[in-house]
Each structure stands twice: as structure tokens, then as C-alpha cells.
Amino acid sequence: MAAAPSRPLRAEALLAASLLTPALLLVALLLLVPLLWLVWQSVRQDGGFTLAHYARLFTDPAYGATFLQTFRISAIVTLACVVLGFPVAWAAAESGPTLRTLILALVVLPLWTSVLVRAYAWIIVLQRTGLVNSALEALGVIHRPVILVNNEFGTIVATTHILMPFVVLPLYTTIRTIPREVLAAAASLGGTPAFVFTRVYLPLSLPGLLSGASLVCVLSLGFYITPELLGGGRTYTVSMLIARNIALYDEWGAASSVSVALLACIFLIFFLAGRIVPIDRIVGTR
Amino acid sequence: MTVRQACFCLGILLGDGGVARADDGITFVSQGGSYQAAQTQAILDPVARQLGISIDQDSAPDAWAEIRTQTATGKAFWDVVDMPAKDCARGGARGMIAPLDYAAIPNARDLPDDYKTPYSVAYEFYSSVLAYNTDKYGTAPPHDWADFWDVKKFPGTRALRDNPLATIEAALLADGVPPDRLYPLDLDRAFRKLEQIKPYITVWWTSGAQAAQLLADGEVDMEMAWSNRVSAVQHEGAPVGFTWNQGLLQYTSLCILKVSPHIATATRFVDAAIGRRVQADLTRYTDNGPGNPRAYEIGAIAPARMRDLPNTPDNARLQALISTEWWSSPAGDEAMRRWLTFVQH
């Protein structure tokens, strides 16, 4: 154990602690207390202790199906964001200052538009009489409108669009830090472009890729607006289950247990991602 | 520490805001939009003048969760709420809604018994009707729920509300149950019937605005929708029609929060708000019908206007009235629970 800190040092630590107190209190009051209350609610029924709310997650097929659908959507959205976001991040990182600014602006600008507006815009684009169907019909590709929205597909398209920046930005930052010399060295030693990409470029961009992917994965697990507006009532996600349990079915215990279960899943994802890349890199503190 | 105490401490910490209001005022809550704006003109402003009280307004499409919170914290921000009668009744059973002092509400004598509960009086009417695209079906549109279920005779995309209320009734009507024999609802039979149509439902809608949009945009060819929403898009020129036949009449009710500190004023408001005159005036601004049926008898509503309103004697004859009593009973809760499993499968 270290020696007791000298007097001025301890005073400094005390000052730092007192300066932090309001912030810590705020976090405790607004985050931890409601969270503990949530856990408390999830094991209460009619004034007694119960695990019935958790048992329902396994016994009621609707709950299992909801979790399954949520994870499926999240997985597809994450994959789509990575596959579509990688070339964008790559292009931004490799191009000159003007083009780079343009690309980054196009990535960031939608973030400043309300999610609600973007969700409604997707309805207009994808619906039976929407832009995509009209264009495909005019080109003779299809003869009857295809159902592109009010289902899981529409939900995935809009969610992917909304969450894409969360992959592109960390990925771009990581790619920018890859030393060009390493790539040149790999190539000069006889590596084909494909070899250089898979063995050097991709591994070096992996931290950004993983942090972006885990952010998207976690955010999409809790997404509410896109499945609610674009899911057509046939896409039930965990967030909707929570909302319905509170507003419609009046089951706060069930809503709480579902929230706690989702939170546990999210911690698990961060934990697994953290095994590969340190957690402080995922949340961007380093 | 109980929830109430915890919230009380929180209240002290955050300062006591929001409820400072003169005793001769109430906060009225409805569902917002043009519907609430119509009430402001026809009912809220005139009643405020008549009683010499101030009426603050708030809106909540789903007031239930909020009322539950205000009850749990013992701190009322709301006094009178306009919401489905079923919620008033089950709120009353749980001590969230105050019983009405009918001696102080003489206007309630205009209302038939099935428009009232110990906790609520009918305020305005709407109907869950069968609406369709007139371009698609031309001169031979579907005219009852059996047609809605008949996907061979009437091909096309369909939508229903993501809620068992009225949807269960429609399924039973489609299955041949006579309108006057609906209650108690046979849930097994209704869900069997619903399973048949489920693969053909493109959208399970959640809000009235969404339902109207689906029809106006041509996303669905026929659906169950609220009559006032359908007529609103009709007025905008959308190729949309609907039938009163087998419509399911519903009403929202006024009720008072039990934790309200202004129960006496709120009661005076409730009485004035269901008066014949203001109730008749409501129909000048919306296609919702009056909760007080005597409003039709004072000559304030033009005969031509009557056609558009859900609960005129002529239109009501074609429809069935949804039973608030059944839906606020344990059987109604059971229907809700089964619904979740039904839609998510």
C-alpha cells in the first residue's frame, strides 16, 4: 500500500472529489435510482416478491419471438451498416481534403435531422405508391407494386440509414491512423492488394469497425421509432413490447423485466466486444 | 421507503413546480390535434366563460400511463381527462379515477344508462367502420365485415387496428354473430376468425392518423378505421369511402382524477361540457358525434350534417355499441393479454 498522501495532495483530491460531487449525485439520482427501481419493479407483484415476470420471458411465446425478432433485426442492421459503411469510411479517409469534407458532411448531416422525419420520409419512398415502386413500375421491372414498408424490410432499411454514421465515423478515425508506410511495406514485400487488405488494412481498422458495429448493434436493439412506424404492426421489437406493456396492457412488472433483460443482453454484447477490443476504445475515450 | 415517499423527496429536491394554480381553474386533457382544437372552440372556451373558470389544456394520446404515475406520486397535474370509457372504468376500480357526484351533474340525466359508469360520462362518439378505396372497388365496395374477410371476392391489401377493442367485435360479426348477441364476446371464436384474415393484413395500425394516411396514400385498399378520420381525408378529396353498416360505435368519456385537488370545479366542468348546446356545437367543428344524444333534438344540427355523424338515430341503427362494461371486466383484460400473443406470432 502506498504511503499516505502529503497534505497538499490530499487537499487537492478532496477538492476534486467535491467538484465531482454534483455530477456524481446527478448520475446517481437520474440514472442509478431509476435503474434500481426498475429492477425492484421487475420482481414485485401485488406487494410480494415474484419471478413470474422473468418466467414469462421463457414461457410466453410472444416474448421469445419478440426478442428473437429484435436480435435478428439488430444483426442484419449491424451487418448492413458495416458492409455499406466500410467503403464510405475508406473513401473519406483516402480522398483529398475537399472530397473528404463532402463525404463526411453527407454522413453527418442526416444526424441533425429528426429521426421521426427520416422515418416518415422512408414511408413516402417505400410505400406502394412511393418513389421506388413508381420508378420500378415505370421501368417495367415490376408490374405490381412490391410491399417494401410496413414490414421488417422497411424497418431494417430505415434503421440502417439512421445508424450508418455510427459505423462510418469511428471507422474513418481508425483508418486515418493506419500508417501509409505499413501498407507500402506490405506491398513492396510482394503482397497482392487483396492480401494487403485482408492481412494488414482490415486488422488495423478492426478497432474502429468493432466499436462502430457494437454501437450500432446496441442502439438498434433499443430502437423504437422505426419499428413502430415502419414495421406495420408485424414487426414487434423489445422496445415496443415495453411500451405496449406500459400503455396498453398495464403490466409494469412485465415491462420492467423486459427492460432488465434487454439491459443484460446489451452488457453481454459490450462484454464480448470488450474481450476483443478494450471497452474504452469502443466508447471512444481513447 | 415507499414509492410515494421517494417521489415526495424528489419533489422537494426539484422544487414544487407546476401545480400552482388558482382554485377556480382546472387542467383538461384530451388527445390533441384538430380534435382537441374543435373542443376548444365548441366546448372548452364557452364553458370556461359560462362558469367563470380557467381551463388549462394538455394532450396525451395515451393518458393511462400518465394518470397512473400521477396517482402513484399523489401529485396531480391533470383534473379532467377525455379518454376511452373503458380506461375511466378500470381506473375507477383501481382508485385512480374519482367517482362522479351525479347529484351535481344534472346534464347526465340526458344520457342513457349504458353511456355512464360510476366514474365517467360519455363525451363524444366515433365509430370503427369499414373504409375502402373507391378507385379500387368502384360501385361494388365491401359493405360488411364478412366482405372484409372474403379475400377472393374482394382482393386487395387490408389493415386492422393493433388492438383487440372493436377488432374482436368485427371478427365475430364477420363470423355471423348477430350484432345484438355480441356480448359476452366469444374470444376463442373471435381469435379463430382473426387467424384466418391475419395473413392478408398488410398493416396493424396503431394511431388514427396512421390509419387515415394508409387509406389516403393507397397503401391499403380496405381497413377498419375511425369514422371521423376517414371523413377527414374524404373532405381532402382522397378516393375513400366507408359504410356505417356494422360500424362499432365507441365513445370517449370524461372522468376526474382521484388525486385532483379541484374536484368540485372539475365536476361543474363535466356537467357543463355534456350540455346539449355545447355538445351540438362540437359537430360544427369535427365529425365526432355528441356524447349527449339529446343534442340531436334541439335543432342545432342541420339535417344534411346528420349523415356524417356516427350516432344519429339513423346511423346508429346500422351499428353495434361497444360494451364498456365488458371491456373493463376481467374478460376484457384477458382479451388484451391474448392479443399480444396473437399479433406477435
* Residue B156 vs residues A180, B175, B196: alpha-carbon distances, Å: 59, 20, 15
Please check whether residue B153 lies inside any domain of the structure. Answer: yes
For residue B47, what are the domain limits? 25-125+251-316
Interchain CB distance below 8 Å, B204 and A234: yes
Distance CA A135, CA A141 (A): 9
Q: Which residues pair with A24 in a beta bridge?
A: none
Same domain, B205 and B333: yes
Helix (H, G, I), strand (E, B) or coil at A203: helix
| Chain A nearest C-alpha distance from B239 (Å) | 14
DSSP state of B126: E
Burial class (CB in 10 A: 0-12, 13-18, 19+), A98: exposed
Cβ pair B336, A249 in contact under 8 A: yes
User: Residue B238 pLDDT more than 90?
Assistant: yes
Same domain, B187 and B48: no
Residue of A150, A229, A249 to mutate, interface with B, max B Cβ within 10 Å = A150
Residue of B157, B163, B344 lying closest to A62 (CB–CB): B344
The DSSP string of B129-157 is: EEEEEHHHHTTS---SHHHHH-TTTS-S-
Residue of A61, A128, A233 lying closest to B162 (CB–CB): A233
Same domain, B153 and B230: yes
Catalogue the long-range contacts made by A152-156 (C-beta closer than 8 Å, 24 or more residues apart).
Answer: A152/A69, A152/A73, A152/A231, A152/A234, A152/A235, A154/A122, A154/A123, A154/A126, A154/A230, A154/A231, A154/A232, A155/A73, A155/A226, A155/A227, A155/A230, A155/A231, A155/A235, A156/A73, A156/A76, A156/A77, A156/A80
Among all chains, which residue has been given the C-alpha cell 497534505?
Answer: A7
Q: Is the pTM of this model over 0.90?
A: no
Distance CA B267, CA B102 (A): 9
Interchain CB distance below 8 Å, A127 and B219: yes
Same domain, B173 and B198: yes
Please check whether residue B62 lies inside any domain of the structure. Answer: yes
| Chain A nearest C-alpha distance from B109 (Å) | 32
Domains located in chain A, CATH noted:
52-282 (1.10.3720.10)
Interchain CB distance below 8 Å, A128 and B336: no
Please check whether residue B139 lies inside any domain of the structure. Answer: yes
Largest CA distance in chain A: 83
Interchain CB distance below 8 Å, A228 and B206: yes
Q: Of the candidates B119, B116, B77, which has an alpha carbon nearest to the alpha carbon of residue B98?
A: B119
Same domain, B136 and B225: yes
Listed in sequence order, the residues at least 6 apart from B119 whose beta carbon sits closer than 8 Å to its beta carbon are B88, B89, B91, B92, B97, B98, B99, B100, B255
Same domain, B305 and B162: no
From chain B, pick out residues whose CB is under 8 angstroms from the CB of A232: 202-204
DSSP state of A122: H
Please check whether residue B59 lies inside any domain of the structure. Answer: yes
Please check whether residue B213 lies inside any domain of the structure. Answer: yes
Same domain, B338 and B200: yes
Residue of A61, A248, A249 lying closest to B345 (CB–CB): A61
For chain B, the domain total comes to 2
For residue B324, the Cα-to-chain-centroid distance in whole angstroms is 11
Q: Of the candidates A128, A169, A178, which has an alpha carbon nearest to the alpha carbon of residue A150?
A: A128
Distance CA B62, CA B83 (A): 8
Same domain, B96 and B204: no
Kindly give the confidence (pLDDT) of every residue in chain A, 286 residues in length, as a single tens digit, with 9 standing for 90 and above.
445 556 677 888 888 888 888 888 888 889 899 899 999 989 988 888 999 999 989 988 889 999 999 999 999 999 999 999 999 999 999 999 999 999 999 999 988 889 999 999 999 999 998 999 999 999 999 998 999 999 999 999 999 999 999 999 999 999 999 998 888 899 899 888 899 888 888 888 988 998 899 899 999 999 999 999 999 988 999 999 998 888 877 788 899 999 999 999 988 888 888 787 776 665 555 4
Burial class (CB in 10 A: 0-12, 13-18, 19+), B106: exposed
Same domain, B168 and B285: no
pLDDT band at B209 (very low <50, low <70, confident <90, very high): confident
From chain B, pick out residues whose CB is under 8 angstroms from the CB of A53: none
Please check whether residue B67 lies inside any domain of the structure. Answer: yes
Distance CA B134, CA B241 (A): 6
* Residue B186 vs residues A249, A281, B198: alpha-carbon distances, Å: 20, 58, 18
Return the top range by mean pLDDT from A109-123, B58-72, B274-288.
B274-288
From chain A, pick out residues whose CB is under 8 angstroms from the CB of B205: 233
Q: What are the pLDDT digits (tens) for B88-111?
A: 998 999 899 999 999 999 999 999
Residue of A61, A232, A250 lying closest to B203 (CB–CB): A232
Distance CA A175, CA A212 (A): 13
∠ Cα B136 B140 B145 (to 5°) = 90
Please check whether residue B18 lies inside any domain of the structure. Answer: no
Higher pLDDT, B11 or B221: B221
Residue of A53, A69, A229, A234 to mutate, interface with B, max B Cβ within 10 Å = A234
Interchain CB distance below 8 Å, A129 and B343: no
Listed in sequence order, the residues at least 6 apart from B246 whose beta carbon sits closer than 8 Å to its beta carbon are B130, B144, B145, B170, B173, B179, B318, B319, B320
pLDDT at B30: 94
* Residue A146 vs residues A4, A73, A134: alpha-carbon distances, Å: 73, 20, 10
Distance CA A116, CA A155 (A): 13
Query: Grid coordinates representing A6?
Result: 502529503
DSSP state of A249: S
Interchain CB distance below 8 Å, A150 and B344: no
∠ Cα B223 B212 B56 (to 5°) = 130
Same domain, B138 and B115: no
* Residue B225 vs residues A97, B127, B167, B216, B230: alpha-carbon distances, Å: 54, 8, 10, 12, 7
pLDDT at A271: 85
Query: Grid coordinates representing A224?
Result: 423504437
User: Residue B7 pLDDT more than 90?
Assistant: no
Residues of A at the B interface (Cβ-Cβ below 8 Å)?
29, 37, 60-62, 65-66, 127-129, 147, 149-150, 228-229, 232-234, 236, 244, 246-250
| Chain A nearest C-alpha distance from B108 (Å) | 29
From chain B, pick out residues whose CB is under 8 angstroms from the CB of A236: 343-344
Please check whether residue B170 lies inside any domain of the structure. Answer: yes
Interchain CB distance below 8 Å, B341 and A61: yes
Distance CA A115, CA B173 (A): 40
Closest B-chain CA to A241: B340
The DSSP string of B239-298 is: SEEEEEEEEEEEEEEEEEETT-S-HHHHHHHHHHHT-HHHHHHHTTT-SPEESSGGGGGS
* Residue A210 vs residues A84, A156, B143, B281: alpha-carbon distances, Å: 15, 20, 56, 62
pLDDT at B250: 95
Distance CA B290, CA B129 (A): 17
Interchain CB distance below 8 Å, A232 and B341: no
* Residue A238 vs residues A248, A265, B121: alpha-carbon distances, Å: 15, 12, 36
CB atoms within 10 A of CB B11: 16
Helix (H, G, I), strand (E, B) or coil at B302: coil
Among all chains, which residue has been given the C-alpha cell 422537494?
Answer: B12
The DSSP string of B28-97 is: EEE--HHHHHHHIIIIIHHHHHHHT-EEEEEE-SSHHHHHHHHHHHT--S-SEEEEEHHHHHHHHHTTSE
Same domain, B139 and B239: yes
| Chain B nearest C-alpha distance from A108 (Å) | 30
Same domain, B108 and B165: no
How many A×B Cβ pairs under 8 Å? Answer: 59
CATH number of the domain that residue B215 is part of: 3.40.190.10
The mean pLDDT value of chain B amounts to 91
